[in-house]
A and B are shown apart, each in its own frame.
Chain A
Amino acid sequence: GAGVSQSPSNKVTEKGKDVELRCDPISGHTALYWYRQRLGQGLEFLIYFQGNSAPDKSGLPSDRFSAERTGESVSTLTIQRTQQEDSAVYLCASSLIPSGGRQETQYFGPGTRLLVL
């Protein structure tokens, strides 16, 4: 079946512009996550969606970052007034809803490579 898809795959933008990144999770996966990966680093958690609500936004770096999800499906991550330090790969993952305190396997999309000039 189809995996997690993300678009665009690459985005080059100028400092100060807004960007919108899209994630299409695996069908039936109610949980959705956004992570950021800087060059040579591990993944940093940004936000977690359970259905259309986000019970944990603790990883969003600043108020320039926001995310929404609709129809328990597509999610968009928006970065306003981009800065050079926002340059990174933004990865989306989806999973079944975690239950019983146990983690469900998170399946990652291919990511969006963002370069802010």
Chain B
Amino acid sequence: RKEVEQDPGPFNVPEGATVAFNCTYSNSASQSFFWYRQDCRKEPKLLMSVYSSGNEDGRFTAQLNRASQYISLLIRDSKLSDSATYLCARGDSSYKLIFGSGTRLLVRP
């Protein structure tokens, strides 16, 4: 089993839709989790950090479920500009990040 698993998608949704991705992880000792956004042929950019049960920033909400070992990302009122690949990562020790393979989101007009 991969350490961090994500549904590769693509998730194809209309503008204004709400979409959610899940990310499962195998190491129950992990304390920190991250969602990064990566545009095509660009570097990953941090979207959200999660250290406790969840985090919210505008249209984006991340929730951590330690019992089931998954973290979700919810995007409300999706915009065309949200189209990207969303990478989930867990912190391993205090510095290393273990990434999933990413979930691709396409928002159509």
Interface residues of A (CB under 8 A from B): 31, 33, 35, 40-45, 48, 50, 56, 91, 95, 98-99, 101-111
Interface residues of B (CB under 8 A from A): 4, 6, 8, 31-32, 34, 42-46, 49, 51, 87, 89, 91-102
Q: Are B99 and A42 in contact (CB under 8 A)?
A: yes
A55–B63 CA distance with the chains assembled, in angstroms: 32
Which of B4, B31, B44, B91 touches A108 (beta carbons < 8 Å)?
A: B44
Question: Which residues on B sit within 8 Å (CB–CB) of A109?
Answer: 43
A101–B101 CA distance with the chains assembled, in angstroms: 25
Most B CB within 10 A of own CB, among A43, A56, A103: A103
Which of B49, B87, B97 touches A45 (beta carbons < 8 Å)?
A: B97
Residue of B nearest to A98 (CB): B94
A66–B96 CA distance with the chains assembled, in angstroms: 18
Residue of B nearest to A4 (CB): B43
Q: Are A33 and B95 in contact (CB under 8 A)?
A: yes
Q: Are B94 and A91 in contact (CB under 8 A)?
A: no
Question: Can you give 7 contacting A-B residue pairs, CB < 8 Å?
Answer: A40-B101, A42-B4, A42-B6, A42-B89, A42-B102, A45-B92, A103-B97
